[in-house]
Amino acid sequence: MTSPLPPFDWDIFCCVVDNFGDIGVTWRLARQLKQEGALPTHGDEAQVRLWVDDLASFARICPGLDPALDSQWVDGIHIQHWHDTLPADAIPARVVIEAFACQLPAPFIERMAEQMASQPRPPCWINLEYLSAESWVEDCHALASPQRVGNQSLNKYFFFPGFTARTGGLLCERGLIAERERWQQDEAGLAAYWASLGLPPKQEHELRVSLFTYESPALTSLVESWCQSATPVTLLLPLGRSLNDVLTGAGLAAAIPTAKAGALLQAGNLTIKLLPMTDQAGYDRLLWSCDLNLVRGEDSFVRAQWAARPFLWHIYPQEEQAHMVKLDGFLDHYLAKLPTATGQWLRGFSHALNQGENCRDWWAQWPEHAAIWLQHGRPWSQKQLRDGDLVTRLVKFLESRI
């Protein structure tokens, strides 16, 4: 006989669209809420339930998860497979989050409305939106949208992650920045880390680059530049969507069909280390360890900023170049404190990567700007936390609503 489930403080719904981006963000959110998301007048520990429609993709970044189970506990969080049939005993939590406008199941919304009759206040319904730096986000953040359910009316609140005090901020666990600092200053620990990946300690003038992007012709030209570089480049490449472009650029297309995690490939002055998918803590350490990180989507994009190292964002491509507007919105913030020449170079480089253009000339200017770019990382990450991280802002927002 199974034990009855506790009353939940948080329900989070996630529809996996882009393999790891959506679930990456919601899994980090769930764990942080478990640790730091105690709600007003409700003790020191939160109970969190995470609903996910694609457990197989989730398991790639959460090795402790069994995709065959309908429900399970992982890291103190209740994982519920989200499918057509809603568990009969599923009582909505005090706060219900639909991540990235995934649309709650209708029976669950009906149960939320039913609770209005038996509780002083119904569950607080949050639509956690995609991260954006566009200016309109400030005007829409925290707005209520009345939802009619039968003869009841529920408010759904829009919560926008962002880069200003008038948005929801960014996900960042308490203590993460201090942990990063310890890691980056521990030379013996870094040497041990590289050894764990089958690599020697980093040479004095060597560049180590991580790459986790979408497909792009721009990667071919960038990899060609690394092959011909006067400086040795080691590329840490998790197996994924960019593999074909990278190996083609390195002249190693013949190795694509048999490429496996753990392989070490050489092309000119470029060494490519193929990595398996890792859990999120492992990916953070990879970002902290490299000199340059190429990242994609939302989760790895935010984690690259906490790494305080140079990074390029390969944003998810959208119709009518809408993603370029989002990219420029971010760059307007990120480049504001950089010298003009470095800012112009970095914007041009970012555009070339995201529009699939030849990046050779942009990469040739790396030596001129790399040190300035590196120095920008720490103050930028500090600035993003000045008004609190996302969970801190979310709990504060809920104080008067639950």
Say whether both 181 and 165 belong to one domain. Answer: no
Q: What is the dihedral of CA 262, 267, 268, 270, to 10 degrees?
A: -40
Say whether both 363 and 300 belong to one domain. Answer: yes
Instruction: Please state which of the ranges 32-46, 179-193, 226-240, 289-303 shows the lowest mean pLDDT.
Output: 32-46
What is the pLDDT at residue 31?
96
Does pLDDT of 108 surpass 50?
yes
- pTM of the complete model: 0.94
Instruction: Please state which of the ranges 84-93, 324-333, 359-368 shows the lowest mean pLDDT.
Output: 84-93
Does pLDDT of 2 surpass 70?
no
Cα 308-311-314 angle, rounded to 5 deg: 140
Does pLDDT of 228 surpass 70?
yes
Residue 2 lies in a domain: no
Confidence of residue 319 (pLDDT cuts 50, 70, 90): confident
Does pLDDT of 1 surpass 50?
no
What is the pLDDT at residue 21?
73
CA quadruple 289, 290, 292, 295: dihedral sign: negative
Say whether both 341 and 394 belong to one domain. Answer: no
Q: Distance between CA atoms of 269 and 47, rounded to whole angstroms?
A: 51
Cα 260 from chain centre: 25
Say whether both 124 and 186 belong to one domain. Answer: no
Q: With beta carbons less than 8 A apart as the criterion, state whether 10 and 95 touch.
A: yes
Say whether both 217 and 364 belong to one domain. Answer: yes
Q: Distance between CA atoms of 200 and 264, rounded to whole angstroms?
A: 12
Say whether both 162 and 240 belong to one domain. Answer: no
As annotated, the active-site residues are 22, 298
Residue 74 lies in a domain: yes
Does pLDDT of 341 surpass 90?
yes
The per-residue DSSP string of 299-351 comes to: HHHHHHHHHTS-EEEEPPP-GGGHHHHHHHHHHHHHTTTS-HHHHHHHHHHHH
Residue 299 lies in a domain: yes
DSSP 230: S
What angle separates helix 176-184 from helix 299-307, to the nearest 10 degrees?
A: 60
The per-residue DSSP string of 265-302 comes to: EEETTEEEEEE----HHHHHHHHHH-SEEEEETTHHHH
Say whether both 43 and 104 belong to one domain. Answer: yes
- State mean pLDDT over 270-299: 95
Does pLDDT of 170 surpass 80?
yes
Residue 128 lies in a domain: yes
Residue 5 lies in a domain: no
Residue 160 lies in a domain: yes
Tens-digit pLDDT profile for residues 23-43: 999 999 999 999 999 886 666
Residue 224 lies in a domain: yes
- Residue identified by tokens 């960038």 is 222
Q: Distance between CA atoms of 402 and 386, rounded to whole angstroms?
A: 26
| Residue 179: other Cβ atoms inside 10 A | 15
Confidence of residue 370 (pLDDT cuts 50, 70, 90): very high
Say whether both 267 and 378 belong to one domain. Answer: yes
CA quadruple 191, 197, 202, 203: dihedral sign: positive
Confidence of residue 357 (pLDDT cuts 50, 70, 90): very high
Say whether both 220 and 127 belong to one domain. Answer: no
- The number of domains in the chain is 2
Say whether both 159 and 207 belong to one domain. Answer: no
For the chain, give the mean pLDDT.
93
Q: Give the up-direction half-sphere exposure of residue 35: CA atoms within 13 A in the CB hemisphere.
A: 12
Say whether both 200 and 338 belong to one domain. Answer: yes
Tens-digit pLDDT profile for residues 200-216: 999 999 999 999 999 99
Q: Which pair of structure tokens corresponds to residue 173?
A: 């666990």
Q: The domain containing residue 352 runs over which residues?
A: 176-385
Please, which residues bridge with residue 275 across strands? 238
Say whether both 220 and 157 belong to one domain. Answer: no
Closest CA to 32 of 312, 299, 294, 301: 299
Tens-digit pLDDT profile for residues 40-92: 666 667 899 999 999 999 998 898 999 999 999 999 999 999 998 889 889 99
Contacts of residues 60-64 at CB distance under 8 Å and 24 or more positions apart, as own/partner, are 60/19, 60/20, 60/277, 61/20, 61/23, 61/24, 61/27, 61/277, 61/278, 61/279, 61/280, 61/283, 62/27, 62/279, 63/279
Helix, strand, coil in percent for the chain, rounding step 5: 40, 20, 40
Residue 4 lies in a domain: no
Mapped onto helix, strand or coil, the DSSP state of residue 233 is strand
